[in-house]
Chain A
Amino acid sequence: MKQRTKEEKAKRSYFIEQEYLIFSEHQKIIKETTFIDPSIICNVVSCYFDDIDRLKHYHNQMKLADFHKVAAYTAKWIIFLKPIQLKYQIDSKSIHKYSLLANELFALHFVSSILGIENFMNLNKELRFNLLYTLRYRHFTGRSLSTLMYILDELNKSYLRSNNN
Chain B
Amino acid sequence: MKQERINYYKSIFSNPECKTVFEMRQENSSEKFDTDKAIKCAENGSKNFWAAIDELDLSEIV
Tell me whether B17 is interfacial, beta carbon within 8 Å: no
Residue B18, interface by CB 8 Å: no
Considering only residues 109-127 of chain A, those with a C-beta below 8 Å from chain B are 109-110, 112-114, 116-121, 123, 125
| Contact A121:B42 (CB < 8 A) given known A62-B26, A64-B30 | no
Contact in complex: A101, B58 (CB < 8 Å): yes
Q: How far is the CA of A118 from the CA of B53 in the complex (A)?
A: 14
Dominant SS among interface residues on chain B: helix
Q: Could you tell me the distance between the alpha carbons of A105 and B55 in the complex, rounded to whole angstroms?
A: 14
Which of B41, B43, B49, B58 has the largest count of A CB atoms less than 10 A from its CB? Answer: B49
The 9 closest A-B pairs by CB, nearest first: A66-B29, A113-B42, A120-B52, A118-B45, A97-B58, A113-B41, A120-B49, A22-B42, A113-B38
